[in-house]
Amino acid sequence: MYNIYKLAGMSKHASSRLTPSRKNEASPPPPKLNFGFDVCARTFGHYPWDDWERFALARGLDAELAGLGRLLVREAYNHGWEGWLQSLCGWSDDGWTLLAFALRAPEQARWCFSRLMETDGLRGDVHPKTKEWTWGYLRLDVRRVLSTLHNATVDARQTRN
């Protein structure tokens, strides 16, 4: 049997000649999702939704789901979704509830996030007859999501007051 270290002219303790590993960086700070942020003062990769994704990844969220959550936070802002829906997408609590949901129930979160993206914030859907995205049309299962989310938001507001 050949000794790979001898063949390479190294001893087993030659690791000191290797480039050292980077020290673990501190976890990114929690995101600040605030509608008053200055879009023009930001650079690529440093928008609030990017901060949310980095924070979610650091908290252990699966990369694919963190990316989908990032899109959700961004689209809620960029497309001007209704206030109650923007709130559900993290804009009222810096994304903490959105992250908690995704960590607690990743498959449900993936389904919900995908429906919100496909329907542009529950504004429309692909109509089965025309096969085209239609403003104001929602499939029955998505209408149930809309009703459930809206009622939960209204109930939460009444509980706080």
Amino acid at 103: L
Query: With left for phi above 0 and alpha for psi between -120 and 50, is residue 122 left, alpha or beta?
Result: left
Task: Report helix, strand and coil shares of the chain as percent, to nearest 5.
Answer: 55, 5, 40
Q: Which pLDDT tens digit goes with each residue over 44-93?
A: 777 888 989 999 999 999 999 999 999 999 999 889 998 888 888 888 88
Angle at 148 between CA 51 and CA 160, to 5 degrees: 70
Q: Flag the least confident range among 17-21, 26-30, 53-57, 80-84.
A: 17-21
Chain-centroid distance, C-alpha 91? 12
CA distances from residue 41 to 46, 65, 93 in whole angstroms, order as listed: 10, 27, 22
Query: With left for phi above 0 and alpha for psi between -120 and 50, is residue 90 left, alpha or beta?
Result: left
> What are the residue boundaries of the structural domains of the chain, listed by start?
44-160
Q: Which pLDDT tens digit goes with each residue over 110-159?
A: 988 998 999 999 888 888 899 988 888 878 777 777 776 666 555 544 54
